[in-house]
Amino acid sequence: MVRLKNGFNGERAIVLPQLIIRMMEKDPLVSMLHITDIGYYPKALHHFRERKQPIDQYVFIYCINGSGWFRINEREYAVSSNQYFILPAGVPHAYGASPDTPWTIYWIHFKGTLAPYYAQKAVHPVDIRPEIHSRISNRINLFEEIFNTLASGYSNENLHYVSSLFHYYLGSLKYVQQYRNAGEHQTDDENLSEIAIHYMKENLEKHLTLEELAEHIGYSPSHFSMLFKKKTGHSPLSYFNLLKIQEACFMLDTTGMKINQICYKVGIEDMYYFSRLFHKIMGISPREYRKLKKG
C-alpha cells in the first residue's frame, strides 16, 4: 500500500517501504538509480531538517517559488526561486525554508550506483530560469508522472518505468541547455503573445503581476496589455487565470489530488478564491466539475 503523508497545507509525499527499497537495490536495472521518497511542499513555512547523522540517500530539492537555505560541510547557501541542489549521501546537512518567503519545493530522495554521477556539480544552488525556450512545465509534468506512477503501486513494471523517467528527469537538469534545444522552437517571427503565454505556462505555480509579465517581454505594462488583448481578446492576467483553471481541470480529470492541493499547484493559496475563480470561468465549482466528469 502506498503511504501518503500530509503536513503542510497542500503537501503530497510518498515514502517507499523498506521492503521495496531492498528489492530495488537487488534489481540489475533499478539498482542504478531509484527513488526512496518523493514529495511536493507548497509554501512550506517552518520547514526545517537537520541530519547530524548522515543518511545513505541523495537529497534533491527544486525550489520553484520563495526561498530557503541549506548547510553542508559548515558552509551555508541561500536558495531562491528557480534553483535546485542535490545533497550527497553520507554527509551531515541541514536545510529549511525562509521565514519571510517560505519556499515551494519538489523534493526526491534517491540512491543507486549512478546517483553520484547525477549529483556532480549540484552541491550548490543551480539556476533553472524561465526563458523563451525553457521547458519548466514539461519537467514539472514529468515529476507528476513519476509521482503518480509510484502512487499507483510498486509493481516491477512501475518501478522500472519510474527509474527510466528519473534518469530523464535528472538528465533534463544536468544537461539543461540540450534539453531546451531539443524542444519545439518557434520561428524568429514569434509574436509577443506567444512569448508571453509561454512564460505564463512556465510560471503557473506562481503569482505574476502585469509588471513582471511586461518586463519579461520588454514593453511598458500599458503597451504590453493593449497588444496582448488585441491579439488574444483577454487581458494578460485574465488569460493567466484561464491557463491556471485549464490546468486545474486537467488535474481534476486525471489525478486524485485534493482541491486544496490543486489550488497550490496553480499558484493560488486561498482555496475559497480558487473555487470562486473556477466557478466564474467554468460555471460550476471544482467539486461539481469532478463529480460531473466521474459521472
Domain boundaries, the chain: 12-181, 192-294
Q: Label residue 254 by pLDDT band (50, 70, 90).
A: confident
Task: Say if residue 105's pLDDT is above 80.
Answer: yes
Q: Which fold has domain 192-294?
A: Arc Repressor Mutant, subunit A (1.10.10)
Q: What is the pLDDT of residue 5?
A: 44
Q: Give the C-alpha separation, 202 to 129, whole Å.
A: 10
Q: Which of 117-121, 130-134, 144-148, 200-204 has the lowest mean pLDDT?
A: 130-134
- 12-181: CATH architecture: Sandwich (2.60)
Looking at the DSSP bridge assignments, the partners of residue 12 are 40
Q: What is the pLDDT of residue 216?
A: 86
State the chain's mean pLDDT as an integer. Answer: 90
Tens digits of per-residue pLDDT, 174-193? 998 888 888 765 543 357 88
Distances in whole angstroms, Cα of residue 137 to Cα of each of 62, 171, 216, 247, 292: 13, 15, 17, 11, 27
**What mean pLDDT comes out for the span 192-204?**
90
Task: Say if residue 108's pLDDT is above 70.
Answer: yes
Give the angle subtended at the CA of 148 by the CAs of 114 and 180, to the nearest 5°: 60
In the block, residue with C-alpha cell 503536513: 7
Task: Say if residue 1's pLDDT is above 70.
Answer: no
Q: What is the pLDDT of residue 217?
A: 85
**What's the grid cell of residue 74?**
559548515
Tens digits of per-residue pLDDT, 54-73? 999 999 999 999 999 999 99
**What mean pLDDT comes out for the span 265-284?**
93
Q: Give the C-alpha separation, 131 to 66, whole Å.
A: 19
Judging by beta carbons within 10 Å of its beta carbon (0-12, 13-18, 19+), is residue 210 exposed, middle or buried?
Answer: middle
Q: Give the C-alpha separation, 96 to 61, whole Å.
A: 11
**What mean pLDDT comes out for the span 236-261?**
92
Q: Which of 25-39, 44-58, 94-108, 219-233 has the lowest mean pLDDT?
A: 219-233
Question: Same CATH topology for 12-181 and 192-294?
Answer: no
Q: Which residue has the higher pLDDT, 184 or 81?
A: 81
Q: What is the pLDDT of residue 192?
A: 83
What number of H helices and E strands is found in the chain? 12, 10
This prediction has a pTM of 0.77
- Judge contact between 262 and 251, C-beta under 8 A: yes
Q: What is the pLDDT of residue 294?
A: 63
Close Cβ partners of 6 (under 8 Å, ≥ 6 residues apart): 13
Q: Give the C-alpha separation, 43 to 35, whole Å.
A: 23
**What mean pLDDT comes out for the span 26-31?**
95
Q: What is the pLDDT of residue 189?
A: 37
**What mean pLDDT comes out for the span 198-211?**
92
Q: Give the C-alpha separation, 275 to 86, whole Å.
A: 36
Q: Which residue has the higher pLDDT, 109 or 181?
A: 109
Task: Say if residue 251's pLDDT is above 80.
Answer: yes
Task: Say if residue 130's pLDDT is above 90.
Answer: no
Q: Please name which of 159, 161, 170, 165 lies closest in space to residue 19, comparing C-alpha atoms.
A: 159
